[in-house]
Structure 1
Amino acid sequence: MSSYNIQAHPKVSQYPPEGEWSTGFNDCCIDRNLCLKTCFCPMITMGEIAEIIDGGTTTQQKACCMYTILPTGWKAMYAAGYRRRLREMFKLPQEPHNDCLVHECCCVCGLTQEYRELKNRGADPSLGWQGNVEKWNREGLREPPIPTRMARC
């Protein structure tokens, strides 16, 4: 297990600056496929996001199942926890509303924004954690471009 820090990454300049969202909250349909997947199966997008934010310690399947079985209000709180952690990772502002309200009122907008943020910062949630580690190794990165508390390699 090791901890990663985005400040130590040699290629940080190619990613969006800390403190700013790389896309807007209402940019849901920038990627139509992601938008459709999230509209009809938000639990899949949630699972992919959770695995990356957790650095591989939570699988896509586990997070997807958790999101699926929770009642609606609890789904928003579960997803909001990951949004908060994502914001903390990159020092992002709490916009346009608090994290729970974002997921309660428009989970599709919130999830797609979080997914795009991870992708724009060098992690492709659709590949899962291990797929990203392999991609980063092929690209010659010694450390992932995203900070994590704990990582499984």
Structure 2
Amino acid sequence: MQNPSPPIYGQKPMTRIPVPGQLQANHPGTWSTELFDCCSDVPNCCITCFCPCITFGQIAEIVDKGTHSCGASGALYFLIQSLTGCGCIYSCFYRTKMRKQYNLPESSCGDCLLHFCCESCALCQEYRELKHRGFDMHSGWKANMENQNRGIAMAPQVHGGMTR
């Protein structure tokens, strides 16, 4: 992200507001938080531990860019988990899709094994990543895009005139 231009005398500098989906981390190509940083977002950690289908649905709606709703994705995850106990097989594909969208590195053990062994931690990390990228996870894809299109996503920059 580039620095805004210097302000004209007497004006406050304008800052950029994050556009949903743009990398907010300092290092492109890295996760914004570690896998076991679940307690950095305690409410999401609790929801994910007790009802992972909610967190998964929110992630899937954003990663799928609104083609499937949070409710539909969450319900399918719940159904797979209830019938087979292997919701992690479904959710690992979304981690892979998300990593490819944002050029994030794969863990040394792979996405499927990571979800199989640490499903809650993986879902929490994905949720935090999308949140750090400017998405309001409770609003869903459509509301995030409407906010972006209304101009909430980017504040105008003031370019300085003649200065000494």
Q: Same fold (TM over 0.5)?
A: yes
2:47 pairs with 1:34: no
Runs of at least 5 residues in structure 2 that lack an aligned partner in the other structure: 1-17, 155-164
What per-residue deviation string (whole Å, max 9, x for no partner) do you get for residues 23-68 of structure 1? Answer: 0000011111000000001000000000000000010011011100
Moved over 3 A (4+): 10-14
Partner residue of 1:99 out of 111, 117, 128: 111
Change over 3 Å in CA distance of 1:24–1:14 after alignment to 2:
closer
Question: What TM-score do you get using the length of structure 1 for normalisation?
Answer: 0.78
- 2 CA distance for matches of 1:100 and 1:111? 12
C-alpha contact 2:22 2:133 (8 A) present in aligned 1: no
Which letter maps to 1:66? L
Partner residue of 1:72 out of 82, 85, 88: 85
Give the aligned partner of residue 110 of structure 1. Answer: 122
SS of the counterpart of 1:125? Answer: coil
Give the aligned partner of residue 131 of structure 2. Answer: 119
- 1 CA distance for matches of 2:23 and 2:116? 33
Partner residue of 1:15 out of 4, 19, 24: 24
Change over 3 Å in CA distance of 1:13–1:126 after alignment to 2:
closer
Runs of at least 5 residues in structure 1 that lack an aligned partner in the other structure: 1-9, 142-153
C-alpha contact 1:96 1:102 (8 A) present in aligned 2: no
Q: Looking at CA atoms only, which structure, 1 or 2, has the larger radius of gyration?
A: 2
Change over 3 Å in CA distance of 1:72–1:14 after alignment to 2:
closer
Between structures 1 and 2, the one with greater helix share:
1
SS of the counterpart of 1:87? Answer: helix
1:69 positional shift: 0.7
1:124 positional shift: 1.9
Change over 3 Å in CA distance of 1:136–1:40 after alignment to 2:
same
1:13 positional shift: 7.7
Change over 3 Å in CA distance of 1:18–1:89 after alignment to 2:
farther
SS of the counterpart of 2:101? Answer: helix
Change over 3 Å in CA distance of 1:101–1:14 after alignment to 2:
closer
What per-residue deviation string (whole Å, max 9, x for no partner) do you get for residues 71-97 of structure 1? Answer: 222x11110000001100111111252
- 1 CA distance for matches of 2:66 and 2:149? 16
Give the aligned partner of residue 141 of structure 2. Answer: 129
- 1 CA distance for matches of 2:125 and 2:39? 10
